[in-house]
């Protein structure tokens, strides 16, 4: 029988220092020693992506000293990790880390001189985090007595469109990845791919959106027709709520691709919203596993929903820092073209609409967007509509969602949600239910979201085993 093949993704926490990287390498090595072929995909060391974004902004704002100070800190952190993983000062790894920091420094200086940070240059800069962590993982695998070779996303064959900051893989990527990584695997070498990044056909570096290493791993999983993709995390698996907010959040054993997409879309930071999309056609399972407890099964994400009796809802999530944009006035009244033109304007700006609601009199349309997108949304709408429409932003909002395939056709779920919110004295600003009936979402005051999440979690008894929750 051919060797089983796994793609293993290690996130920022699992790459945060030499000790975490060494531990991650032992998790990969364990499977390799059992005869499994493994492709490793890594994120930047925890915090580095944010640091790169900060220093790029500092350079654009003219503060080159602050940017250089941050680069020096990052350099020390990567050198220290390399040294702790056994790299000699004159080793290839140390030389590569030095060269990457030098190129980063020059790129940042370019931003400073031009006072211009385009989406394209931002992607070039932000992808340094993964380009720097991949050699460290290769070193740690070699420390386990394995042969390893690290590659950038582009070198691994991940070709994308030119949507910098939110790029999507091109169909041609899959064959290219299979050629490039298949050769290494065939030669008994473990490929270590820098996650989060790809390359346009012209060779410009792109990124796949925050949390994009999950997506890199599943793209590679599809290309290689892997048996499974494993995403190692600092949590047990996908949980019934963010464990930082809800103390008794419980691990969910099985989720469907559809449920995971809804959860990620509505703010569960545990997986990239598009991560499962490459797996859907082939039905390759994704496992979310705990690096701290590798024998715990974690969460299995697969095609078919798995509904536990009496538990229609599997999880509660929230997106914070949301704004509701209210469009009101007689001009909306009975004029469907006005509403169509609003959506058109938003689509052209590539703004994600989190929720939409329209009053039945059609004199009001409310749109929930990330607050970071609010100014662009307002500008786009004001350019589009003329006359007597009022367009206002209401900031300080959050979108809370309950997710679960078991809700389909179930009565009383919404009533239980609204009851829990009313019991916690939470005012509901907007309500929406997806036609898939996989979720119900509500817009509420951001200041109330943590309490509301706990109240909803308790009302659906999500912290208890399924049998108890009837
Ligand atoms: N429903 C959820 N289940 C598990 N983790 C969640 C959930 N919602 C939010 N999180 C947060 O996601 C984090 C794990 O995701 P992330 O930091 O992206 O992992 P990594 O960087 O290790 O890939 C956890 O620390 C947790 O606080
Ligand atoms: N480093 C990138 C990509 C990523 O997936 O990271 P993590 O696996 O640490 O969430 C980010 O912070 O967005």
Kindly report, residue by residue over 2-54, the tens digit of the pLDDT. Answer: 789 999 999 999 999 999 999 999 999 999 999 999 999 999 999 999 999 99
Ordered structural domains, the chain, with CATH: 5-234 (3.40.1160.10), 315-469 (3.30.2130.10)
Give the pLDDT score at 385: 76
**Whole-model pTM?**
0.93
Residue 192's nearest CA partner among 230, 149, 221 is 149
Binding residue per annotation — 42?
A: no
Pairing of strands 355-358, 428-433: unpaired
Binding residue per annotation — 289?
A: no
Give the pLDDT score at 378: 94
Contacts for 90 with CB less than 8 Å, ≥ 6 apart: none
Strand partners of residue 289: 232
Give the pLDDT score at 335: 65
Interval 165-192 mean pLDDT: 97
Binding residue per annotation — 128?
A: no
Tokens representing 376 are 């662009």
Residue 143's nearest CA partner among 33, 22, 31, 40 is 22
ipTM comes to: 0.96
Q: Residue 271 CA: which ligand 1 atom is closest?
A: 18
**What does the alpha-carbon distance between residue 402 and residue 314 come to, in Å, rounded to a whole number?**
8
**What does the alpha-carbon distance between residue 224 and residue 7 come to, in Å, rounded to a whole number?**
9
> Do the beta carbons of residue 469 and residue 461 sit within 8 Å?
yes
Tokens representing 251 are 């691990």
Of 344-348, 374-378, 434-438, give the lowest mean pLDDT range. Answer: 434-438
CA dihedral 417, 418, 423, 427 (to 10 degrees): 130
Kindly list the protein residues whose Cβ atom lies closer than 6 A to any atom of ligand 1: 11-14, 43, 211, 233-235, 238-239, 241-244, 268-270, 315
- Give me the half-sphere count of Cα atoms (radius 13 Å) on the Cβ side of residue 319: 24
**What does the alpha-carbon distance between residue 415 and residue 413 come to, in Å, rounded to a whole number?**
5
| 148: helix, strand or coil | strand
Token look-up 């994308």 returns 160
> Do the beta carbons of residue 265 and residue 273 sit within 8 Å?
yes
Closest C-alpha to ligand 2, atom 13:
210
Distance (Å) from CA 212 to ligand 1 centroid: 13
pLDDT digits (tens, 9 = 90+) for 267-278: 888 999 999 999
- Give me the half-sphere count of Cα atoms (radius 13 Å) on the Cβ side of residue 51: 21
Q: Residue 129 CA: which ligand 2 atom is closest?
A: 1
Query: Which-ligand-closest: CA of 133?
Result: 2
**What does the alpha-carbon distance between residue 89 and residue 39 come to, in Å, rounded to a whole number?**
28
| 202: helix, strand or coil | coil
- 43 CB less than 6 Å from ligand 2? yes
pLDDT tier for residue 470 given thresholds of 50, 70 and 90? very low
Run of H or E residues at 361: none
pLDDT tier for residue 434 given thresholds of 50, 70 and 90? confident
Give the pLDDT score at 384: 83
> Cα separations (Å) of 17 from 20, 127, 200, 216?
5, 18, 31, 22
Query: Which-ligand-closest: CA of 196?
Result: 2
> Do the beta carbons of residue 39 and residue 146 sit within 8 Å?
no
Binding residue per annotation — 12?
A: yes
> Cα separations (Å) of 308 from 212, 410, 440, 469?
30, 13, 19, 10
**What does the alpha-carbon distance between residue 318 and residue 246 come to, in Å, rounded to a whole number?**
12
- Answer whether residue 72 shows pLDDT above 80: yes
Pairing of strands 254-256, 299-302: parallel
- Answer whether residue 467 shows pLDDT above 60: no
Tokens representing 112 are 């400073």
- Answer whether residue 89 shows pLDDT above 90: yes
Cβ count near 151 (within 10 Å): 19
- Answer whether residue 241 shows pLDDT above 80: yes
- 153 CB less than 6 Å from ligand 2? no
Q: Which of 9, 50, 213, 232 to mutate to test the pocket of ligand 2 (most atoms within 8 A of CB)?
A: 213
- 49 CB less than 6 Å from ligand 2? yes
| 140: helix, strand or coil | helix
- Answer whether residue 95 shows pLDDT above 90: yes
**What does the alpha-carbon distance between residue 9 and residue 216 come to, in Å, rounded to a whole number?**
9
> Would you say how long the chain is, in residues?
470
Give the pLDDT score at 334: 60
φ and ψ at residue 255, rounded to 5 degrees: -135, 150
Instruction: Give the whole-number percent of the chain exceeding pLDDT 70.
Output: 96
Q: Mean pLDDT in the chain?
A: 93
Give the pLDDT score at 468: 52
Residue 41's nearest CA partner among 175, 169, 194 is 194
Query: What is the residue-wise DSSP string for 233-260?
Result: ESSSSSBSS-TTT-TT--B-SEEEHHHH
> Do the beta carbons of residue 198 and residue 153 sit within 8 Å?
yes
R_g of the chain computed on alpha carbons: 23
CA dihedral 150, 152, 157, 158 (to 10 degrees): 130
Give the pLDDT score at 390: 87
């Amino acid at each position: 029988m051919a060797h089983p093949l796994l793609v293993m993704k290690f996130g920022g926490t699992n790459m945060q220092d030499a000790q975490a990287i060494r531990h991650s390498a032992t998790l990969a090595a364990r499977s390799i020693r059992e005869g499994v072929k493994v492709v490793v995909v890594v994120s930047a060391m925890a915090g580095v992506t944010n640091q790169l974004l900060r220093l790029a902004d500092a350079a654009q704002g003219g503060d080159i000293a602050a940017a250089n100070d941050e680069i020096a800190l990052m350099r020390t952190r990567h050198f220290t990790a390399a040294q702790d993983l056994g790299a000699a000062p004159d080793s290839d790894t140390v030389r590569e880390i030095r060269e990457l920091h030098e190129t980063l420094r020059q790129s940042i200086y370019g931003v400073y001189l031009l006072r211009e940070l385009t989406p394209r240059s931002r992607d070039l800069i932000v992808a340094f985090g993964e380009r720097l962590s991949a050699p460290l993982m290769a070193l740690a695998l070699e420390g386990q007595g394995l042969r390893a070779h690290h590659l950038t996303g582009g070198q691994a064959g991940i070709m994308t469109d030119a949507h910098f900051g939110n790029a999507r893989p091109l169909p041609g990527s899959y064959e290219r990845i299979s050629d490039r990584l298949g050769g290494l695997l065939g030669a008994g070498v473990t490929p270590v791919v820098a996650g989060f990044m790809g390359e346009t056909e012209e060779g410009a570096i792109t990124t796949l959106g925050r949390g994009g290493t999950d997506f890199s791993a599943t793209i590679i999983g599809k290309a290689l027709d892997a048996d499974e993709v494993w995403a190692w995390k600092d949590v047990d698996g996908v949980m019934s709520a963010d464990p930082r907010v809800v103390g008794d959040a419980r691990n969910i054993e099985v989720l469907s691709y559809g449920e995971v997409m809804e959860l990620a879309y509505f703010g569960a930071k545990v997986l990239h919203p598009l991560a499962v999309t490459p797996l859907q056609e082939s039905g390759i399972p994704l496992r979310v596993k705990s690096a701290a407890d590798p024998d715990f099964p974690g969460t299995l994400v697969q095609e078919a929903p798995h509904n536990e009796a009496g538990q229609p809802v599997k999880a509660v999530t929230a997106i914070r820092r949301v704004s509701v944009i209210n469009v009101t006035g007689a001009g909306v009244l009975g004029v469907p073209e006005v509403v169509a033109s609003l959506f058109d304007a938003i689509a052209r700006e590539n703004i994600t609409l989190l929720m939409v609601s329209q009053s039945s009199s059609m004199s009001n349309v409310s749109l929930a967007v990330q607050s970071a997108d609010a100014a662009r949304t307002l500008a786009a709408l004001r350019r589009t509509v003329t006359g007597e429409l009022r367009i206002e932003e209401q900031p300080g909002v959050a979108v809370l969602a309950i997710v679960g395939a078991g809700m389909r056709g179930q009565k009383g779920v919404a009533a239980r949600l609204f009851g829990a919110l009313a019991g916690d004295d939470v005012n509901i600003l907007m309500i929406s239910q997806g036609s898939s009936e996989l979720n119900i979402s509500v817009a509420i005051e951001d200041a109330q979201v943590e309490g509301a999440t706990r109240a909803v979690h308790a009302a659906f008894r999500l912290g208890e085993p399924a049998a108890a929750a009837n």
